[in-house]
Amino acid sequence: MPEIKEAPMSVVGKATPRIDGPRKVSGVAMYSSDHRFPGMLFAVPVCATISNGTIDRLDVSGAERMPGVRAVYHRANVGKLFRPVQRKDLTADGSIIDEQRPPMEDDVVRYWGQYVAVAVAETFEQAKAAADAVRVTYTQEKPNVETKLEAEKKPEVESERGDAEKAFAGAAVKVDQTYVTPAETHNPIELHASVALWDGSAFTLYETTQAVANHRNVMAQILGVAKENVRIISKFLGSGFGGKLWPWTHSALAAAAARNLGAPVKLVVSRQMMFQTVGHRPRTQQRVRLGTTAEGKLVSLQQDYLNHTSMLDDYKEECGEATAFMYSTPNLKVTSGLARRNIGTPTAMRGPGAVPGLYAIESAMDELAIALKMDPVELRLLNEPKIDEGLGVPFSSRHQVECLKTGAERFGWSKRTPGVASMKRDGLTLGWGVAGCSWIAQRIPCTATVALRDDGTARVACGTQDIGTGTYTVLALIVAERLGLPIEKVEVVLGDTSLPMGPVSGGSMVTGSVIPAVLEATEKAIETLVSNAAKIQGLPFAGHKPDELYYDAGRVRLKSDAAAGGGGIAFEEVLKKGNLSAISGSGKSEGTFGAEGKAKFSTHSFGAHFVEVTWQAEIARLRVNRVVSVIDGGRIINPLAGRNQIEGAVVMGIGMAMLEATEYDHRSGAPLNSNLADYIVAVNADVPKLEVHFLDYPDKALNAYGARGIGEIGLAGVAAAITGAVYHATGVRVRELPVRIEHLLA
């Protein structure tokens, strides 16, 4: 890994507006569904209107004869779509897909909205009319969308140390409660979409995907072609929140239709369909048992969780993600189980596992503090671990104590009085709550190239994506820093499988993963530049060896001249003199744990949220009034985008705590609130002043800059801090999200 100069950094660490911002606000940025091609057709799926049963008859005769209709595909005529072999890794060969069954594989309907046919026509309106005209009759059975979860088989042990049952039985103070989080639906503003092109031998697919390489590997298998014959492009995303990590069935339908008809096909998933066929965060039910000594030292921590999944796929929401290392305890046990429902397959949603998991754990810690008559910050400080007790290895960088103390200080926590409804201001009751948070920090293997060009600009290319979070800008900053160029002179190219393999935009892994590859590529380009400069006729370096030259701030210089103040030659002049249009280098990042596969360090981000709610009992009005978040997320490459990430996550946490839930009709199995009027997300009016503070300790276990990803950490813990504050204001402990007025009237 190249050495980073310890000289003050000029652009890394400086608040920088997103370099792709102007393209987005001016409408120049091309999102997947913006692509248009001559002769392009439009596809509209037909969605099942039952949740459990079989298709008896599917009559497309009327639809096929409608104006502009080119085809109506269903099981019998769509052509062979293959089941991909799932390979759950994040390298170039990974092929991850949550809903494994290819669309229309059989006549069984397992969830509401499952695609049973797809109409393709010359205009969107014609395709929609044809889809509506397809007549489907079903044999229907009672769907199971029951909200109370029971494990379908014996729970699996996820993590265990000591004897948690026995220690709990003997504990002086105990909490034993069950916490429930509802199904939540990702609602990025950009709808999922595919624009599929087939040239007779290869596909070009414009996709709303957070992972172009994985998407290619899966689609090649489903379509039965070599992966070299599939190119995936995803230049801009109107976010994804995890819903766009892995391919969904509509991608296969668009590609199949394009191949069958020999024409470009666009398929845009409607907002309503997005509640049915592109994943969601599953419902979780978590029993948490905590036992302590009389002084509050944890002796036992148990978490037994269940989540719902679909009829065919085993999607596990890893609620124990942070449990084994969050607090120090000699005895711990985490178990998991699945409950099958007639609901589409769940998937990762921002902070999968840890977010619902920490809602439960941090809520239980708050209840424990009350049982102990202890301050909840003090309780956490008392149980701070020295190492990751789950893995038995040190943390690479953990400053949770400082997060709690700094947050308490900034929030004014010392003024808190613990009694329920004991704090008043302007006729309102105040509630104050706190929670800790954590999210994994990983580095996944990837590659990048950097080119120096004869116009004085640089180009960095990596097959990762920018889902709206600032990846374009992060790469520009890293390259600009080393090359000593203004960021305007750095072009960043992402989102295409024809580029060097990049990381998935998920798991908060992009920034931490790309830095080594990009730095190495930059260094290689510089090396080649310098060795060329030593050879090119007509430059003042004649007769010198490459190691007598060096690159600094856009120029190639002679070491001997530097002492004398010699200015050297601008790199573009070197290229021009040598008749070279570009000089490039490539670099790669290894996975976090290297070849041996065993962690030497436990790498995670940490943090704490402090929340104030106001409660007006007379009119049952509850507001989140103030949030202070302190995040230990390694070095922050771009504090402006970084702050936005945490703010956005806290907004999502307010939604999780107060508003969001996908409701399935017990009679039909249909999601009832499948639109943005009835599925309520937090909007500006729900969001108070948010204060975000980064500790900014570099984590050198991940990369030379010490940067960790911060896309998800900000959401973990927020809901528990809010429900803790709600308890403090009202005396009501809400253990089933979201908090509803009726809970508080009880």
Q: Show which residues are catalytic.
A: 712
**Which one of the spans 342-350, 355-363, 522-530, 561-569 is the region binding ligand MOS (CB under 6 A)?**
342-350
Angle at which helices 510-533 and 471-483 cross, to 10°:
30
Q: Are strands 423-425 and 428-440 parallel, antiparallel or unpaired?
A: antiparallel
Member of 320, 506, 554, 633 binding ligand MOS (CB under 6 A): 506
| In the complex, minimum distance from the CB of residue 241 to ligand MOS, in angstroms, rounded to a whole number | 6
Q: Give 137's strand partners.
A: 57
Q: Which residue do the tokens 């390298």 mark? A: 91
Cβ distance to ligand MOS smaller for residue 242 or 431: 242
| In the complex, minimum distance from the CB of residue 147 to ligand MOS, in angstroms, rounded to a whole number | 23
Rounded Cα gap, residues 572 and 580, in angstroms: 9
Which burial class, exposed, middle or buried, applies to 340 when counting CB atoms under 10 A from its CB (0-12, 13-18, 19+)? middle
Which burial class, exposed, middle or buried, applies to 724 when counting CB atoms under 10 A from its CB (0-12, 13-18, 19+)? buried
349 near ligand MOS, judged by CB under 6 A: yes
Contact partners, residue 457, CB within 8 Å, separation at least 6: 485, 489, 490, 491
| In the complex, minimum distance from the CB of residue 661 to ligand MOS, in angstroms, rounded to a whole number | 18
Cβ distance to ligand MOS smaller for residue 237 or 725: 237
| In the complex, minimum distance from the CB of residue 336 to ligand MOS, in angstroms, rounded to a whole number | 18
Number of helices (H), then strands (E), in the chain: 18, 27
Contact pattern for ligand MOS over residues 218 through 257, marking x by CB under 6 A: ----------------------xxx--x------------
| In the complex, minimum distance from the CB of residue 346 to ligand MOS, in angstroms, rounded to a whole number | 11
Residue whose C-alpha is closest to residue 471's, from 451, 446, 453, 452: 446
Give Cα 659 distance to the centre of its chain: 20
Tell me the residue nearest to ligand MOS as measured from the CB.
242
Rounded Cα gap, residues 399 and 615, in angstroms: 33
DSSP states along 144-172: ---SS---SSPPEEEEEES-HHHHHHT-S
Member of 301, 348, 517, 654 binding ligand MOS (CB under 6 A): 348
Q: Are strands 490-493 and 458-461 parallel, antiparallel or unpaired?
A: parallel
**713 within 8 A of 631, measured Cβ to Cβ:** yes
| In the complex, minimum distance from the CB of residue 308 to ligand MOS, in angstroms, rounded to a whole number | 17
350 near ligand MOS, judged by CB under 6 A: yes
Cβ distance to ligand MOS smaller for residue 446 or 526: 446
210 near ligand MOS, judged by CB under 6 A: yes
Which burial class, exposed, middle or buried, applies to 106 when counting CB atoms under 10 A from its CB (0-12, 13-18, 19+)? exposed
SS3 628: strand
- Containing 138, the helix (H) or strand (E) segment is strand 135-140
**Which one of the spans 231-239, 347-355, 522-530, 570-578 is the region binding ligand MOS (CB under 6 A)?**
347-355
Sign of torsion over alpha carbons 25, 28, 31, 37: positive
Judged by phi (left if over 0) then psi (alpha if -120 to 50, else beta), residue 733 lies in beta
Cβ distance to ligand MOS smaller for residue 295 or 314: 314
State the number of binding residues for ligand MOS (CB under 6 A): 11
Cβ distance to ligand MOS smaller for residue 213 or 490: 213
Rounded Cα gap, residues 381 and 404, in angstroms: 8
**Which one of the spans 72-80, 345-353, 442-450, 548-556 is the region binding ligand MOS (CB under 6 A)?**
345-353
352 near ligand MOS, judged by CB under 6 A: yes
Cβ distance to ligand MOS smaller for residue 482 or 604: 604
**240 within 8 A of 269, measured Cβ to Cβ:** no
Cβ distance to ligand MOS smaller for residue 507 or 724: 507
| In the complex, minimum distance from the CB of residue 245 to ligand MOS, in angstroms, rounded to a whole number | 5
Cβ distance to ligand MOS smaller for residue 241 or 727: 241
| In the complex, minimum distance from the CB of residue 350 to ligand MOS, in angstroms, rounded to a whole number | 5
355 near ligand MOS, judged by CB under 6 A: no
Member of 436, 468, 495, 507 binding ligand MOS (CB under 6 A): 507
Cβ distance to ligand MOS smaller for residue 468 or 671: 468
Rounded Cα gap, residues 38 and 166, in angstroms: 70
Rounded Cα gap, residues 501 and 227, in angstroms: 13
Residues 157-176 that bind ligand MOS (CB under 6 A): none
728 near ligand MOS, judged by CB under 6 A: no
32 near ligand MOS, judged by CB under 6 A: no
| In the complex, minimum distance from the CB of residue 12 to ligand MOS, in angstroms, rounded to a whole number | 24
Instruction: Please give the residue ranges that form the binding site for ligand MOS (CB under 6 A).
Output: 210, 240-242, 245, 348-350, 352, 506-507
